[in-house]
Each structure stands twice: as C-alpha cells, then as structure tokens.
Amino acid sequence: MNSRSLHLPASTYSLNMGFQTLWFSHPRKFGPGSRSCRVCSGHHGLIRKYGLDLCRRCFREQSKDIGFKKLD
C-alpha cells in the first residue's frame, strides 16, 4: 500500500509537513489582523470607536448593558 492511498486527517499532514510553525509566525502589530473582538476574538466587523473593540455582532448583544440606546 503506498502513502498516497492512505486517508489521513488534515492535521496529520500539517504536522508532518511543518507548516504549522509558518502559518501564524508573521508579526501582527498593525492592520485588521492585529485587533480582535474582546468577547469572541473575531476580526471582522470590529467597532473600535470609544475603545469598544467589539465586533458588530457582540455589540448588538451587549449594547444595552453598555448603556447605548437606539434612537428613533
């Protein structure tokens, strides 16, 4: 049986190939990858105004607790 016919999980390939050390090795000091939501650690839809650092989904859940009111 050759190695190409084996069905191994994807995690096994990354451990054998050594890619795991390269994937997140680039420094994240600026840009959207450097900032994350303080609740869910997401990077998309981040609201940074007033130092909130919440994604838009978590902001909608937490807005009343924070003190924001929806105006008409």
CATH classification at residue 54 = 4.10.830.10
Residue with tokens 């016919």: 5
Q: Are 45 and 57 in contact (CB under 8 A)?
A: yes
Give domain status of residue 46, yes or no: yes
Structurally, how many domains does the chain consist of?
1
Give domain status of residue 63, yes or no: yes
Q: What is the pLDDT of residue 47?
A: 95
Asked if the model's pLDDT at residue 11 lies above 80, the reply is no
Sign of the C-alpha dihedral computed for residues 43, 46, 49 and 50 taken in this order: negative
Give domain status of residue 60, yes or no: yes
pTM for the full predicted model: 0.61
Give 28-70 pLDDT, tens digit per residue. Answer: 888 888 899 999 999 999 999 999 999 999 999 999 999 999 8
Range of the domain at 52: 34-67
Give domain status of residue 52, yes or no: yes
9 phi/psi in degrees, rounded to 5: -60, 155
